């Protein structure tokens, strides 16, 4: 109780007894799900594709590489698009998922996607560390046999990488430590392609392919139009809704008609909740 009272999220109520009670000054997040069949039903620990109960893994209907960059208010307390799937079934649907991800990336980056994918790596090889490791190896094996100028050059290379002063002797222990240095380092210029894609989506710079049955009208029930034409609401919400439903539609298509094991209440049209105040409450 004190936690809520100290943060101004509740007021104390006089119960007339020794029992304390408080009244919350905000709508609890879970209350919006109180009439949602999906969250009220008990979920079975079975694969949503084959119904098996062995080697189950958590599977993100909307790939996590995209979902992690959703605005906080769209993913908090939302487990509708996280299902269970067995290892074998995961292997079956992974190729189709990779193809769809590639399609979205090509849509976002165009013909530059292949070049971006090759050049924009999260980690890169540090040629300075590679050179320092070679220098350390040479000094450990033939330090006494090499010319002084060569030895000084190798030691200078190591000192630069390890940021060692010239008065510190490069003993064997230091050289051995240099040999264990990882030449793979973080790329300071790295920018996640998935983050760029989601940003383009929310800014309206990414088109979402429509299904063949789309009529582009208020009466259309496809995953993009359903409920949006008559109630456009927040533009960002609508764009994200289309993206999420696109992945749900794709996920169901990968089940090859085996939707009988999906949890009760799960559907392509299930609402994407917008917890507008979730961030401020959770971080107060």
| DSSP-derived secondary structure for 48-91 | TTT---SSEEEEESS-HHHHTTS-HHHHTT--TTEEEEEHHHHH
List the structure tokens of 81.
């698009």
Contact partners, residue 114, CB within 8 Å, separation at least 6: none
Q: How far apart are CA 218 and CA 221, in angstroms?
A: 8
Q: Which two tokens stand for residue 99?
A: 């193809």
pLDDT at 268: 84
**Which tokens belong to 225?**
């139009």
Confidence of residue 213 (pLDDT cuts 50, 70, 90): low
Count of Cβ atoms closer than 10 Å to residue 186 Cβ: 11
Range with the poorest average pLDDT among 14-18, 160-164, 179-183, 265-269: 14-18
Domain co-membership, 179 together with 57: no
- The reply to whether 88 and 107 lie within a common domain is yes
- Looking at the 3D structure of the chain, how many domains does it have? 3
Is there a single domain that holds both residue 92 and residue 205?
A: yes
Which candidate, 194, 213, 224, places its Cα nearest to that of 116? 194
For residue 6, tell me if it sits in a domain: yes
The verdict on 113 and 198 lying in the same domain is yes
Residue 40 domain flag: no
Are 104 and 196 contained in the same domain?
A: yes
Q: What is the pLDDT of residue 109?
A: 84
Q: How confident is the model at residue 56 (pLDDT cuts 50, 70, 90)?
A: very high
Shared-domain flag, residues 163 and 201: no
Same structural domain for residues 116 and 195?
yes
What is the per-residue pLDDT for 31?
56
Which domain does 26 fall in, by range? 1-34
> Which of 162, 186, 210 is the last residue before a domain boundary?
186
Rounded to whole angstroms, how far apart are CA atoms 29 and 281?
10
Answer yes or no: do 212 and 103 share one domain: yes
């Amino acid at each position: 109780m004190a936690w809520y009272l100290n943060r101004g999220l509740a007021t104390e109520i006089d119960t007339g007894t020794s029992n304390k009670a408080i009244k919350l000054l905000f709508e609890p997040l879970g209350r919006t799900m109180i009439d949602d069949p999906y969250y009220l039903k008990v979920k079975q620990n079975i694969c949503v594709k084959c119904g098996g109960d062995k080697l189950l893994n958590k599977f993100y209907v909307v790939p996590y590489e995209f979902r992690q960059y959703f605005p906080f208010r769209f993913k908090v307390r939302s487990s509708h698009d996280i299902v269970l799937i067995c290892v074998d079934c995961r292997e079956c649907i992974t190729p189709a998922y990779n193809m769809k991800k590639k399609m979205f990336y090509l849509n976002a980056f165009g013909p530059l996607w292949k070049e971006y994918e090759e050049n924009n790596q999260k980690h890169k090889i540090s040629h300075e560390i590679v050179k320092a490791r070679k220098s350390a190896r040479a000094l450990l094996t033939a330090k006494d046999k090499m010319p002084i100028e060569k030895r000084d050059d190798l030691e200078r290379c190591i000192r630069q990488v390890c940021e060692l002063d010239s008065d510190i002797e490069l003993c064997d222990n230091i050289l051995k430590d240099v040999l264990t240095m990882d030449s793979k380092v973080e790329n300071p210029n790295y920018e996640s392609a998935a983050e760029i894609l989601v940003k383009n989506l929310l800014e309206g710079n990414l088109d979402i392919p429509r299904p063949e049955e789309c009529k582009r009208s208020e009466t259309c029930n496809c995953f993009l139009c359903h409920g949006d034409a008559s109630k456009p609401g927040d533009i960002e919400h609508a764009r994200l809704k289309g993206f999420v439903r696109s992945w749900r539609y794709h996920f169901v298509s990968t089940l090859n008609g085996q939707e009988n094991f999906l949890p009760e209440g799960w559907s392509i049209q299930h609402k994407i909740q917008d917890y507008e105040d979730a961030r401020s409450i959770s971080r107060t």
